[in-house]
Amino acid sequence: MPYSSSGKGCVNAIITGASRGLGRELALGFINKTLLKEATLSSLTLMAREPEGLRALKAELETLNTGTEIFTIAADLSCTAGIDKAMTGLKHRPIVYHVLINNAGSAKSASYEKMQDCDIEEQIYVNLIAPMQLTRFFMERFFEGQDAPLASLGRVIQISSISAFMPHATIIPYAIAKRGLMEFATAIAKTFPAKGFTINTIVPGLMATDMGLKAVRQMMPGSDALSKETIAVKMAPYLPEKKITSFDDVVNLVGFLISKEGGALNGEFFRVASGLL
């Protein structure tokens, strides 16, 4: 019963792409209680490809000593075998998961006619097929374990991209996968209306992460010396709101969507994209 009148709960959350960038900020948000103010986080499962990054983050979160169990699953979501590995890791624990944040993402840049078939497939897998499969697993577990429907919490958040609305010619597979992710969330929300369960999409703009830096370097010839830390200053003047998307913008929105009040929103998408579109 995640949202109880006493404010005590036992929420189990999953974040993909947790080791770096936005995923890492979301993990910190759970542990420092920016996210999920009304309930206690029982466990947090962190997923990414590289075990090292996951181990380091787990150790960092554990020093904050919150009593939350931190699990890690290292799996490459860009292929069927990796998705199966991720799923096996999740199934291994006989618990109901309450929050799934499909945040892992990967963008490879090349003109479409020259892009390798394997790169196209990988991007569709990471950005669309893996979140679809993880969502299905999450829903199966959630609905099986839903013993108190009115008090239950089941929240899926898809992290899409402004590219879904502005598909640049060099990232077409990424952009269409991110668009598909939004449409998937809307379809699931319409198909499985259930008390307590919601699925929504967040559409960030440029963020100061490894992926953001790669994108800026490709867009702006001569920007090789730019670092993640300087992206905000360099790019802000080009954006309608004169600022890039901050981690706080996204983390706070996730916080609202997984809150009790956020339960009224289902199948929606929310742009946090510096005023683009």
Which residues of this protein are in contact with ligand NAP, per CB under 6 A?
17-23, 48-50, 53, 76-78, 103-106, 126, 159, 161-162, 204, 206-207, 209-212, 215
Q: How far apart are CA 156 and CA 69, in angstroms?
A: 20
Closer residue to ligand NAP (CB): 21 or 262? 21
Q: How far apart are CA 151 and CA 148, in angstroms?
A: 6
Closer residue to ligand NAP (CB): 88 or 148? 88
CB of 254 to ligand NAP, least distance (A): 12
Closer residue to ligand NAP (CB): 2 or 204? 204
Closer residue to ligand NAP (CB): 4 or 230? 230
CB of 181 to ligand NAP, least distance (A): 9
Q: Are 177 and 122 in contact (CB under 8 A)?
A: no
Question: Which residue has 């799923």 as its token pair?
Answer: 87
Query: Residues 34, 214, 237, CA angle at the centre, nearest 5°?
Result: 75
- DSSP assignments along 137-152, one per residue: HHHHHHHHT-SSGGG-
CB of 170 to ligand NAP, least distance (A): 15
CB of 223 to ligand NAP, least distance (A): 14
Residue closest to 16 by CA, chosen among 92, 97, 94, 93: 97
Q: Sheet of 99-102: strands edge to edge?
A: 69-74, 41-48, 11-15, 99-102, 154-159, 197-204, 269-272
Closer residue to ligand NAP (CB): 10 or 239? 239
Dihedral (C-alpha) 145, 149, 151, 154: value to the nearest 10 degrees? Answer: 60
Q: Are 174 and 123 in contact (CB under 8 A)?
A: yes
CB of 260 to ligand NAP, least distance (A): 26
CB of 104 to ligand NAP, least distance (A): 4
Q: Are 272 and 249 in contact (CB under 8 A)?
A: yes
Closer residue to ligand NAP (CB): 35 or 215? 215
**H-helix or E-strand containing 219?**
helix 210-219
